[in-house]
């Protein structure tokens, strides 16, 4: 079977190293990369993620190393990301419950979703790339949720980093409303590292100020009393594996995140970081 990894990126900007890290390790391990975006538009790295002078206010330091900036910019300007899968054309849209002939449309949605999930058998894992962009077009995207549900059903690794972790909190079947990460151990952007201002995006002049939600609180609630959110504030990295999920807190974790994802795929790693 071919070794392929499906990467979902935001059309409103991804953080460069949060793609570079897992991509570097998966490439080296022989996994073909397939890129997808919510509506088929090419994804681009957020400018601060390839600016070595960018100063991160919560961390009070420059967070993009010069060599990483060069690699991110080279990847972003290459033709590698030109070909993307359009999730809105691949995955079906769940109909409104108020639509005429709802039952037939709902059946058609489930039938088409099952066909797409069959196609996911060709892939080894799903990678949800972070940055501020996912706040807009990935966090509450039903098609992204259905991709997560499909990989989970196939018992294949689902990887999320930074705000790419957010869809995991919302991925749930419409009839149960139960998060897939309930009872799991996860990490993600902790509140100590959240911006007070400056959450920006590509393709819009919008500055959202602080993130529209504290991801730590969402994850803590989603995992429930039998799971645990690990912020690991003060530790340089935070990467958690609780099969089939691997989650990473932020950009500093990118290469460790990629390394442990390969260990899940090739060495059967099922628990790490807790």
Q: Which tokens in the block code for residue 261?
A: 């994802």
What local confidence, expressed as pLDDT, does residue 190 receive? 94
Q: Which tokens in the block code for residue 166?
A: 């957010």
In this predicted model, what pLDDT tens digit does every residue of 238-263 receive, in sequence order? 999 999 999 999 999 999 999 999 99
What local confidence, expressed as pLDDT, does residue 198 receive? 87
142 has pLDDT over 70: yes
Q: Give the C-alpha distances (Å, rounded to integers) separating 34 from 4, 5, 23, 205.
A: 7, 6, 11, 29
Please state, for a pLDDT cut of 90, what percent of the chain lies above it.
Answer: 96
Distance of alpha carbon 253 from alpha carbon 257, whole angstroms = 6
CATH 3.40.50.880 fits 4-272, yes or no: yes
What burial letters (b/e) apply to 148-186, b meaning 16+ CB within 10 Å?
A: bbbbbebebbbbbbbbbbbbbbbbbeeeeeebbbeebbb
What local confidence, expressed as pLDDT, does residue 52 receive? 95
- Considering the chain, what is the average pLDDT of its residues? 96
Band the pLDDT of 42: cuts 50, 70, 90: very high
In this predicted model, what pLDDT tens digit does every residue of 65-91 receive, in sequence order? 999 999 999 999 999 999 999 999 999
3-class DSSP state for residue 236?
coil
Instruction: Give yes or no for a contact between 269 and 263, defined as CB atoms under 8 angstroms apart.
Output: yes
In this predicted model, what pLDDT tens digit does every residue of 186-223 receive, in sequence order? 999 999 999 999 888 999 988 989 999 999 999 999 99
Distance of alpha carbon 71 from alpha carbon 62, whole angstroms = 17
CB atoms within 10 A of CB 140: 14
What local confidence, expressed as pLDDT, does residue 230 receive? 98
Q: Which tokens in the block code for residue 256?
A: 């460790």
C-alpha 90, offset from chain centre:
18
2 has pLDDT over 90: no
Distance of alpha carbon 256 from alpha carbon 237, whole angstroms = 8
What local confidence, expressed as pLDDT, does residue 1 receive? 60
Band the pLDDT of 10: cuts 50, 70, 90: very high
What local confidence, expressed as pLDDT, does residue 226 receive? 97
Distance of alpha carbon 136 from alpha carbon 212, whole angstroms = 10
Q: Where are the domains of the chain?
A: 4-272
């Amino acid at each position: 079977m071919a070794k392929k990894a499906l990467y979902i990126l935001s059309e409103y900007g991804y953080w460069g190293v949060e793609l570079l890290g897992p991509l570097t390790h998966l490439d080296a391990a022989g996994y073909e990369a397939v890129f997808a975006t919510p509506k088929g538009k090419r994804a681009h790295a957020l400018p601060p993620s390839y600016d070595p002078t960018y100063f991160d206010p919560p961390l009070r330091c420059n967070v993009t190393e010069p060599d990483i900036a060069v690699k991110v910019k080279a990847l972003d300007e290459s033709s590698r990301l030109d070909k993307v899968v359009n999730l809105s054309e691949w995955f079906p849209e769940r109909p409104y419950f108020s639509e005429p002939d709802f039952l037939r449309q709902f059946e058609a949605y489930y039938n088409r979703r099952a066909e797409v999930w069959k196609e996911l058998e060709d892939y080894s894992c799903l990678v949800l790339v972070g940055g501020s962009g996912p706040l807009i077009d990935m966090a509450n995207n039903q098609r992204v949720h259905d991709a997560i549900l499909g990989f989970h059903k196939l018992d294949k690794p689902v990887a999320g980093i930074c705000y790419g972790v957010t869809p995991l909190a919302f991925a749930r079947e419409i009839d149960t409303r139960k998060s897939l990460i309930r009872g799991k151990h996860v990490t993600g952007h902790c509140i100590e590292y959240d911006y007070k201002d400056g959450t920006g995006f590509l393709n819009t002049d919008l500055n959202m100020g602080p993130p529209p939600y504290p991801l730590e609180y969402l994850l803590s609630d989603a995992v429930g009393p039998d799971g645990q959110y690990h912020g690991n504030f003060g530790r340089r990295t935070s990467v958690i594996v609780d099969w089939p999920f691997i989650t990473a807190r932020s950009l500093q974790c990118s290469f460790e995140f990629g390394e442990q994802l390969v260990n899940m795929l090739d060495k059967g790693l099922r628990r790490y970081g807790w």
